[in-house]
Structure 1
Amino acid sequence: MSDAILQARGLSKKFAGFTAVDNMDLDVERGSIHALIGPNGAGKTTVFNMLTRFIASTSGSIVYDGTDITRHSPTAVANRGMVRSFQISAIFPHLSVLDNVRVALQQHLGLSYHFWRSSRVLESLNDRAMALLEEVGLAEFADVISVELAYGRKRALEIATTLALDPRLMLLDEPTQGMSSEDVGKVTALIQQVSAKRTILMVEHNLKVVESLADKITVLNRGEILAEGPYAEVSRDPAVRQAYMGTEDV
């Protein structure tokens, strides 16, 4: 029996007569890693923006964990445990690694971040912050200024700040974009690790990453679902090969 933590029905988005996403149905099963893939311009980021309410859908509905969130604000959606990390690393580059996580923890606790808070208040967050850094392999870099981190470690820090918001559903937008093969392997392993306690919906261009991680794949093309299923099944679909490669013979 289906246990979908996220369901979209008839989701569409039109921009000045251009249909970016057209009547899309999506089910993300609780505890799974679900990949949303497709060629450039397929509508993947628009779907992410609608699901997280950064843009309003033209039509359709979104139900998260049993609650209709179609008209909720992005903050309300995040507070319910559906948290998105962005394609471009969204960290404070001139704060330390530890302070970046403490900022996210204060946000989750309903506190605004102030540099003049007493050391006692800030240090009360240290154990949880360090535990999150340990989880993503960054504990030894706690005192490093974030701008000095290698690119792959910046993405790991972004995942740590996302985890600080205690998500039940994480939406990862191109988590391995622009990485070396070594960093891709590290971040792939990290995503696998953090998925043990939560559901992940990810947009990813690297099909090797998708193959190794995803339980289910939804392929978008020109705003519509082209195929859906396990990687082994979807990768053999002639329509998918045509959309990606321009030929059915791969």
Structure 2
Amino acid sequence: MSSDIILQAEKLSIQFKGFWAVKDVDLNIRRGTIHALIGPNGAGKTTCFNLLTKFLIPTSGKIHFDGQDITRKGPAEIAQLGMVRSFQISAVFPSLSVLENVTIALQRNRGNSFDFWKRDTSLRALNPRAEELLEEVGLTSYRNHLANELSYGRKRALEIATTLALEPKMMLLDEPMAGMAVEDIDRITELIRRVSKGRTILMVEHNLSVVATLSDQITVLARGQVLAEGDYATVSANPQVLEAYMGTAHA
């Protein structure tokens, strides 16, 4: 495994009752890049994403992250190694403030138990870093708002802030633009571009405009297998991709 590859999958496969949902997928994600995983409905994107993030165990194949074999490790173990994912469904504490959500995420780096039952003075030492993260994602003016008062797009920004609080080596984003209005898509696209500096991002995303704008490299799946790989110009000109993905998207 080359030192510039942070995540590698070799012949990654999973079978459900005789059906190969993902079969012989090879992936090489380079450090410091944004890599998109795309494909038509039923292509195996989500299943592959869940295999990489250890929410599913492969039938066969290997996964290496940052030089370590993580094939049989669980989600909590790989999070400790620095690989952190988001979900399509909003995952914030709705009744806590924006600042409190980030502060809770920051506790993970202290290496001890969470302090829900202690006086809030014990958490104030984390506030300066929490404020920095809120500034990074453009939520400083919302610091005292309850999370459930935020728009959908700003909740996504808050999720990114809590992910950054874990100091990940790699962020895995599951359809970050799903359900967003146009103005939110533009805001979160720019946010992902901004926070990607010095980080590695793998994302599953249906919005091809976002993929074209953000991605350094794209892997196209179809029927559970890799159909094409390359930058956007390369894959968008591939006749098989046009038939299997672009044609479906514009049908």
Normalization by structure 2: what TM-score? 0.95
User: Which range is displaced more, 118-127 or 213-222?
Assistant: 118-127
Gap change, CA 1:114 and 1:2, over 3 Å in 2: closer
Instruction: Kindly report the root-mean-square deviation, in angstroms, between the aligned alpha carbons of the 2 structures.
Output: 1.7
Give the letter aligned to residue 54 of structure 1.
Answer: F
- 2:52 maps to 51
- 2:37 maps to 36
**2:33 maps to 1:16:** no
**2:71 maps to 1:70:** yes
Runs of 4 or more, structure 1, over 6 Å off, are none
Give the letter aligned to residue 242 of structure 2.
Answer: R
Give the letter aligned to residue 192 of structure 1.
Answer: R
**What do the CA deviations read for 1:78-111 (whole angstroms, capped 9, x no partner)?**
1111110111111111111111111111123233
Question: Deviation at 1:113?
Answer: 2.9
Question: Deviation at 1:118?
Answer: 2.4
Question: Deviation at 1:245?
Answer: 4.2
Instruction: Output the CA distance in 2 between the equivalents of 1:108 and 1:41.
Output: 37
What secondary structure sits across from 1:217 in the alignment? Answer: strand
Question: Deviation at 1:140?
Answer: 1.0
- 1:124 maps to 125
Instruction: Output the CA distance in 2 between the equivalents of 1:2 and 1:119.
Output: 43
Q: How does 1:1-250 map to 2 (within 5 A)?
A: 3-246=4-247
Instruction: Output the CA distance in 1 between the equivalents of 2:240 and 2:221.
Output: 11
Instruction: Output the CA distance in 2 between the equivalents of 1:95 and 1:42.
Output: 38
Percent identity between matched residues is 61
Give the letter aligned to residue 84 of structure 1.
Answer: R
User: Which range is displaced more, 237-246 or 106-115?
Assistant: 106-115
Give the letter aligned to residue 26 of structure 1.
Answer: L
User: Which range is displaced more, 180-189 or 107-116?
Assistant: 107-116
Question: Deviation at 1:2?
Answer: 7.1
Gap change, CA 1:245 and 1:119, over 3 Å in 2: closer
Runs of 5+ consecutive residues of structure 1 not aligned to the other structure: none
**What do the CA deviations read for 1:175-219 (whole angstroms, capped 9, x no partner)?**
011111111000000000010020000000000000000000000
**What do the CA deviations read for 1:162-185 (whole angstroms, capped 9, x no partner)?**
111100110000001111111100
Give the letter aligned to residue 160 of structure 1.
Answer: A
Instruction: Output the CA distance in 2 between the equivalents of 1:50 and 1:109.
Output: 28
Instruction: Output the CA distance in 2 between the equivalents of 1:147 and 1:131.
Output: 21
Question: Deviation at 1:48?
Answer: 1.3
Normalization by structure 1: what TM-score? 0.96
**What do the CA deviations read for 1:212-234 (whole angstroms, capped 9, x no partner)?**
00000000011000100010010
Runs of 5+ consecutive residues of structure 2 not aligned to the other structure: none
Instruction: Output the CA distance in 1 between the equivalents of 2:225 and 2:194.
Output: 31
